Amino acid sequence: MVHKRLIFIRHAHRDTEIHSRDNGLSDKGKKQVRQVVRFSQNRELEDGLFLSSPKVRCVETITPVAEALRSEIQIDARLGEGGTSADLVSFVDWWKYEAPDLTIACSHGDVIPMLVEKITGGMISIKKAGWCEIELVGREAYLTWLVQKYE
């Protein structure tokens, strides 16, 4: 029986000084990332595939998590902001049928809810630096974690 996990991390708060630029993280975002890293240390992420939207704020959000596990990050344009329907379908099909047992992906507040809905049928809203886990058991996908604030 197929059993795999998909973890989405929404990028942390970005530097908004110039909205038109592909800015990295703000100081607030960097603090949020430290919380994400602490949370990730208890989630059994060894041997996971780390993916990121091409945007700098996503790469800067997921990099410390991957580095803690000595893993590399791959850029996946399908996770980019404003993804097309074809991108979303392609990502979902890839995850269900080709992805490894564990995938950790950093993306955006518009993309993650659409992917969660396509995979599970459920609707969510995810805050910056939020963490969302989906498990695929056989042919059924379940939302198992949605963490919006780390304590």
Instruction: Profile the chain (151 residues) by mean pLDDT over runs of 10 residues.
Output: 92 85 91 96 92 97 96 97 93 97 97 97 97 96 94 67
Q: Quote the pTM value.
A: 0.95
* pLDDT confidence of residue 151: 67
**Virtual torsion, Cα 45, 36, 21, 52, nearest 10 deg:** 10
* pLDDT confidence of residue 149: 87
Domains and CATH numbers, the chain: 3-147 (3.40.50.1240)
For 11, 22, 23, 33, 49, the CA distances from 77, given in Å and listed in that order, are 15, 15, 17, 22, 15
* pLDDT confidence of residue 116: 98
* pLDDT confidence of residue 112: 98
* pLDDT confidence of residue 22: 84
At 16 the three-state DSSP class reads: coil
CA distance 67 to 55: 18
